[in-house]
Amino acid sequence: MNVTIVDYKSGNISSVINSFKEVAENKVKIEVTSDVSKIKSTDKVVLPGQGSFKSCVDALQSIKGLVDCLNEFVMNKKKPLLGICVGLQMFADVGYEESETKGLGWIPGKVTKINNQNGKYKLPHIGWNQINLVKDSKIFKDIKDKSHMYFVHSYEFVPTDKSSISATTDYSSKHVCAVEKENIFGTQFHPEKSDKTGLKIINNFIKMLVCFLEIL
């Protein structure tokens, strides 16, 4: 089985690469590429993201055929994809960081700035926070409610379909920090920086079914 981490120059993704390779233990091939032909043939995709919503979307679009390839992979082939941080945010229809920017539209919703309550809460939100599990999720198998995860963000994904929310966190107010919709998974927090619990989430993603067409 192959797991492909999409490298579209969205920032330093070395910790993502290292964590997946650590969990895979040479039993699963971990590939890092932006080559569309390789992404088309892989079993699972990881979409990381650092920086602003707009810069990440622009970077994806700058690679010929990449957005169409990801759309085909997720929406038609129904293969598993995990978005991390801004990788999750790009699932939305639209984001409002820097300017109004169209997202991938895989899970209806928008990305807006966290309300810091007139400076009471520091932005970006950096550090460890508890997550609240709100539904059974394949990536949260054997993960305890109220586990601590590591966050770095100033913006939040607000999905219109609340059934896609798999976990929330409390910072200023309650925010979505994980989503699941069929074969689409995302975490606002960084599992690759969240110690053994984060590695367990990565392991759950690696081990799940390759094609969700088998169960739909």
Torsion of CA 69, 74, 75, 77, to 10 degrees: 90
Q: Which residues contact 118 (CB under 8 A, 6 or more apart)?
A: none
Q: How many CA atoms lie within 13 A of 26 on its CB side?
A: 0
Residue 210 vs residue 213, higher pLDDT:
210
Residue 187, pLDDT above cutoff 80: yes
Check if 190 is active-site: yes
56, 69, 85, 177: which one is catalytic?
A: 85
Residue 211 vs residue 161, higher pLDDT:
161
Q: How far apart are CA 196 and CA 193, in angstroms?
A: 9
97, 156, 180, 192: which one is catalytic?
A: 192
Helix (H, G, I), strand (E, B) or coil at 56: helix
What is the pLDDT, as a whole number, of residue 210? 62
Q: How many CA atoms lie within 13 A of 17 on its CB side?
A: 9
Check if 69 is active-site: no
Share of the chain above pLDDT 90, in %: 88
Check if 85 is active-site: yes
What is the pLDDT, as a whole number, of residue 211? 54
CA-based radius of gyration for the chain: 16
Stretch 98-105: mean pLDDT: 96
What is the pLDDT, as a whole number, of residue 137? 95
What is the pLDDT, as a whole number, of residue 205? 97
Residue 97, pLDDT above cutoff 70: yes
pLDDT band of 214, cuts 50, 70, 90:
very low
Residue 72, pLDDT above cutoff 90: yes
Stretch 70-85: mean pLDDT: 97
Torsion of CA 197, 202, 208, 211, to 10 degrees: 150
State the greatest distance between any 2 C-alpha atoms of the chain, in Å, as a whole number.
49
Residue 216, pLDDT above cutoff 50: no
Residue 58, pLDDT above cutoff 50: yes
pLDDT band of 26, cuts 50, 70, 90:
confident
Average pLDDT over the chain reads 94
What confidence tens digit (pLDDT) does each residue in 105-132 have?
999 999 999 998 878 889 999 999 999 9
* Domains of the chain and any CATH numbers: 2-214 (3.40.50.880)
pLDDT band of 212, cuts 50, 70, 90:
low
Stretch 89-106: mean pLDDT: 97
Sheet containing 173-181: order of strands: 29-33, 2-6, 44-47, 81-84, 184-187, 173-181, 165-171, 125-133, 148-153
Residue 140, pLDDT above cutoff 80: yes
DSSP 101-124: EE---SS-EEEEE---TTTTS-SS
What is the pLDDT, as a whole number, of residue 91? 98
